[in-house]
Amino acid sequence: MSRSFKFCPRCAQAMTTLHHGGVDRLACPDPACGYIHWDNPVPVVAAIVEHEGELILARNVAWPGRFFALITGFLEKDDPSPESGVRREVKEELNLDAQAVNFVGHYPFERMNQLIIAYHVVATGEIRLNEELAEYKRVAPAKARYWPAATGLALRDWLISRGHQPEPIALA
């Protein structure tokens, strides 16, 4: 359960844990207020970017080490659909234009309380990283490996759908 709220955003009383709807939730203890923090997952779009026949994996500037992953971003309230959101993220982060966008699946990422909505994106253009990304690498689909969580599972499923037998990356 998220501990993002210490005080009620409506009446400023200290939040407490109450059993509501069969689940323990953060809530305001004042029955007159009645605020409940539902702690619903945040929707995130993820792109398995294919550019010139290779997959593009990127490393975020905030990540330690040399871990490369899919292009991801929050679904924004102005995005008309998750598909348009993933197109926007690929353009913002890589400066690439999505030519084809195909749904792969949705995956829970419990640690971050996110729902990953994954797509395979065939993109064209010249790669230019935005300020969120430190570097990228190209990987032939036949040589791609996946990480056993969230976006890595989307990559695994897409690779299998293409006839590949990907190996997992051991996470320390």
User: What is the per-residue pLDDT across 1-51, written as a single tens digit (0 to 9) for each?
Assistant: 445 679 999 999 999 999 988 989 999 999 999 999 998 999 999 999 999
Residues of the chain with CATH 3.90.79.10: 42-161
- pLDDT tens-digit readout, 106-163: 999 999 999 999 999 999 999 999 999 999 999 999 999 999 999 999 999 999 999 9
State the pLDDT at residue 20: 87
Own/partner pairs for 72-77, CB < 8 Å, 24+ apart?
Answer: 72/44, 72/45, 72/46, 72/47, 72/116, 72/151, 73/44, 73/45, 74/42, 74/43, 74/44, 74/45, 75/43, 75/44, 75/45, 75/117
State the pLDDT at residue 172: 62
State the pLDDT at residue 65: 82
Structural fold of domain 42-161? Nucleoside Triphosphate Pyrophosphohydrolase (3.90.79)
